[in-house]
Structure 1
Amino acid sequence: MTQTILLVEDEPKLAALLTDYLQAADFRVRWLADGLAVVPAVREAPPDLLLLDLMLPGRNGLDVCRELRGFTDVPVIMVTARVDEIDRLLGLETGADDYICKPFSPREVVARVKAVLRRARSDPRARGLLIDDARRQATLDGRLLDLTPVEYRLLAALAEHPGRVLSRDQLMNHLYEDYRVVTDRTVDSHVKNLRRKLEQVAPDTELIRSIYGVGYCLEI
């Protein structure tokens, strides 16, 4: 069944280019250029995914995404022209499922769309990952992971929002129960150790994806 992408972009040439690539990948594309039109369009005919530019005439993508999350879980990929803007978006927890920064390759956009749609249809258990919060244990493909308490909390935080990017600041809040102050490098160090333990069970599989300068997400 053909899936529908609602593309919200006020640059006609860029919208046309993305439409061509998405259609070539067998997606149906609807295009809007005004932020005010997005919510009514989603209510009338919900798409399978929303590709939403941050800066739009009428209403910005941040406000649009917040209102959408009040009545729908449709996957949203937010598009911004500034890398440093992604940190702010994550800090505000807009509810977007992924973020892409301009300039980008249209092929990358198609790949990210496919990845988000794939994640929307699954959950961490589809990759054999089970989080046992009562025992504070995690298993992957039936094998118990030998995790430290901090690594367990880090993995549990990522698994709670599979496919969604969590900033380092957000992850810091989950690392230590005594809320001690830690740095970005502390988070990166724990992620590195956690990845190594996951790879021991699932070699050649990148379960935790890095978003340069922003944070991490759990791929499923």
Structure 2
Amino acid sequence: MGLAIYGYDRLIIVMAKILLFEQNEALADKLASYINGEGHQCYQLRNENHIVDWILLNHPDLVILDQASLAGNAIKFCSEIYYSSSTLLIVTSCSQQGVDQLIALGSGADDFIFKPYLPEEMVARVNAMLRRLQKLAAMRHRVQLLEHHFRVKYADKEVQLTEVEFNLFHLLYSHPHTVFNREDIRKHMYKDHRVVSENTVNSHIRNLRRKLKVISPQHMLITSVYSAGYKYQPCLDQK
């Protein structure tokens, strides 16, 4: 997914690429206008034979398919889209038969909307689905501390730390971008407040960095600030 995201207060706005397949041109144009008005990019297709190829080539974040516009091939397209891509899929239909909804959802659709619907309803559903998707992606790329096991997790990888290394990382992690000098770190490394040398601090920092590199090889989570100390540098996709 290629979602671009920005936010203010508690509202998250997700910018997405959306494909709309709707043969009712008046409805399609109106819906596309609403979707674009939300800051998304809405593309329209009129030929059903181009749908799957377009998706594979352009990688949209979400697809809206009208069941009646697919000349009885809605289930086929739901399955093809589901198995060939990771895009979200909303199916719309004039049919009021609940079985059509169940079949579509069982064939790969993520949502099903009965017609007629308000464009505002469609946009609200689109935004809700994209926010959930973004939330899942953000959680997958968030550094997590498993306190009772002295482990750190990032994406699908975990690394085991010693108790001292975990205490050290917890201190830096809890205060992102804050520079701690060696004296600050020495006071927090051991719960019994034993006196340790600067060389000991440096050694633990080296070992901790080496282990963290296993789970985050492209990003240095602990950075040095010349003549000042160390700080935790969150990954680019963390707040």
Relative to the length of structure 1, the TM-score reads: 0.52
CA positional deviation for 1:116: 1.1
- Matched with 1:87 is 99
1:51 partnered with 2:64: yes
Looking at structure 2, the residues matched to 78 and 16 of structure 1 have their Cα atoms a distance apart, in angstroms, of: 17
**Does structure 2 conserve the Cα–Cα contact (< 8 Å) formed by 1:51 and 1:79?**
yes
**Does structure 1 conserve the Cα–Cα contact (< 8 Å) formed by 2:75 and 2:103?**
no
Letter in 2 for 1:65: C
Looking at structure 2, the residues matched to 4 and 22 of structure 1 have their Cα atoms a distance apart, in angstroms, of: 10
Looking at structure 1, the residues matched to 91 and 117 of structure 2 have their Cα atoms a distance apart, in angstroms, of: 13
Equivalenced residues, count: 124
CA positional deviation for 1:118: 1.5
For the residue of structure 1 that corresponds to 2:69, the secondary structure is: coil
Q: 1:120 to 1:83 in 2, by over 3 A?
A: farther
- Matched with 2:165 is none
CA positional deviation for 1:121: 2.6
CA offset digits 1:46-87 (Å, max 9, x no partner): 111001111225663221111111121210011111121x43
- Matches for 1:87-106 after TM superposition, within 5 Å: 87-91=99-103, 93-106=106-119
What are the ranges of 5 or more consecutive residues in structure 1 without an aligned counterpart?
127-220
Letter in 1 for 2:54: A
Equivalent residue in structure 2 for 1:63, among 62, 68, 76: 76
Equivalent residue in structure 2 for 1:76, among 89, 95, 113: 89
- Matched with 2:28 is 15
Instruction: Please give the root-mean-square deviation of Cα atoms over the aligned residues, in Å.
Output: 2.0
What are the ranges of 5 or more consecutive residues in structure 2 without an aligned counterpart?
5-14, 140-239
For the residue of structure 2 that corresponds to 1:99, the secondary structure is: strand
CA positional deviation for 1:90: 1.5
Q: Percent identity?
A: 30
Looking at structure 2, the residues matched to 21 and 80 of structure 1 have their Cα atoms a distance apart, in angstroms, of: 19
Looking at structure 2, the residues matched to 113 and 12 of structure 1 have their Cα atoms a distance apart, in angstroms, of: 20
Relative to the length of structure 2, the TM-score reads: 0.48
Letter in 2 for 1:90: L
- Matched with 1:119 is 132
Letter in 2 for 1:19: A
Looking at structure 2, the residues matched to 15 and 80 of structure 1 have their Cα atoms a distance apart, in angstroms, of: 14
Q: 1:57 to 1:78 in 2, by over 3 A?
A: closer
**Does structure 1 conserve the Cα–Cα contact (< 8 Å) formed by 2:48 and 2:70?**
yes
Letter in 2 for 1:48: D
Letter in 2 for 1:110: V
1:110 partnered with 2:127: no
Q: Which has the higher contact order (CA 8 A, sep 6+)?
A: 1
